[in-house]
Structure 1
Amino acid sequence: MLPGRQIPQPIAQENQLWVSWHDTQMMASLSPATVMDYFCRKSNPFYDRVCNNETIRMQRLSLEHLNNMVGVEYILLHVAEPILYVIRKQHRHSPTEATPMADYYIIGGMVYKAPDLASVINSRILATVTNLQSAFEEASSYSRYHPNKGYTWDFVANKALSDKSKGNKKDPSSNKDDSGTIFQKQRVDMLLAELLRKFPPPIPPMIHQQQMQNEQQLQQNQLQNTAAEVNPTEANNVAGNPTTSNNGAVPSEASPSPNTAQGGIEPKVEGIDMKPPPEKKIKM
């Protein structure tokens, strides 16, 4: 062996949580009956060749003989067809006693090692410490020291720098995504207007009463305008310019109004009892 040459460590000695294995030839034919043969292939780095399963395979015995042996063995622990299979590695002491050593799960033909509780806790603690360290580093970047004032916080300068850096890192293609169509921009306004039309807000009593009075006044004005168009004489009476006296006498001019002669409809004033005109005396 050459001096100073490093020999790469085998996969079994590395951290198996970062290792996965699969066999493309048998992935499509996985089933509860063939999953143990799939896991016990020699190319699988998770498989220990010095185990009871290998002895049984060499002797061509069934898996039921594992209960009568002592040592390391692999068993099928859980099945969720057709995608998930859980295999346990354990050390058997007697037909009724075995100590679990590790668990492996197969998802879609890929074999992974299930992490133990210590690995999960270490990973969570490491992630927490990393986030806390980044938070402290960011907070310390805002601190400023002056001999007269001491330590102070300056968030404006760093915020401007961070905004500027974010703006530089932003891709020019992302500007196209920011701009939307008119429909996308006004969609919320359209929905709010439709909801406001379907469910109008309650009107206060004072404003509602005022609106009712305005509507009544508008209706009266419309009725007066309609009456003026149909009968101008009544419109004059309503407006305070009557054409007849209080006792029902007609004006001195006895000629009919132009509206009566042209339209052929006599006004209601002719229905009143009127005095006949005086007779003319014949001159002798």
Structure 2
Amino acid sequence: MAATPMPGNPNFDGNLPPLPPPPGTDMTGICFRDQLWLNTYPLDRNFVFDYFALSPFYDRTCNNEQLRMNSIHPLDISHLSKMTGIEYVLNEVIEPNLFVIRKQKRDSPEKVTPMLTYYVLDGSIYQAPQLCNVFSARIGRALYYISKAFSTAASKLEKIGHDGESDDATDDAVASKETIDIRELKRIDHIINSLQRKLQTAPLPPPFPEGYAPPQPTTEPEQGSETQPGTEQQQLPPVDPIIDQGPAKRMKFD
């Protein structure tokens, strides 16, 4: 395999510059793409790791970097299995459009612990979101809309009840029917309010994997809620790492 130029030049005294800090655990909000590199080299299973090593997702303290410095293919599993520490492996390949790279910690030739997953989609590199974040965001979003639906239904039923009480009954049959409907509406309103109180506490998300730092919440309350007196502020649903931070909406690093 022809080696691509490695970043970093030695200083005047012959020493290599210090290594950059390791990447963060949550970088799902950004993507990386180097069009100049893509125009120069083919994107296949032999060159994809050299392309991935240019991105901010790459940890230069990994075992693959040591193999690169020794002019060994960085994905050679025969050498990686004899080492311990952080490593990257090519998990799935659909040339030339999709490459899935997994970051894992190797403790022995047989024992590895998956940490993070990255994918190269049509030349752009992304970090795949954690499954616990996806479940937590979608469960929270579903509970938000269910609670909002109950609030809307309760307010409409309460309005109908007040309108029925204020109307003048001109016919005895109509008046008796309205009385029955009002009682039924109040009973349904009581049931909806009790269910709404039960839905206020969302279930806890599954535990995070070892060494993972959960992202900080970035959602803000809806605009205009402070200017509307008498209205209850509802917490916005959590950001879905797949729908709301898809490839088209992530920050691009060239």
Structure 2 length as normaliser, TM-score?
Answer: 0.49
Normalization by structure 1: what TM-score?
0.44
Q: Which has the larger radius of gyration?
A: 1
Specify which structure has the higher proportion of helix: 1
Structure of greater relative contact order (alpha carbons < 8 Å, 6+ residues apart): 2
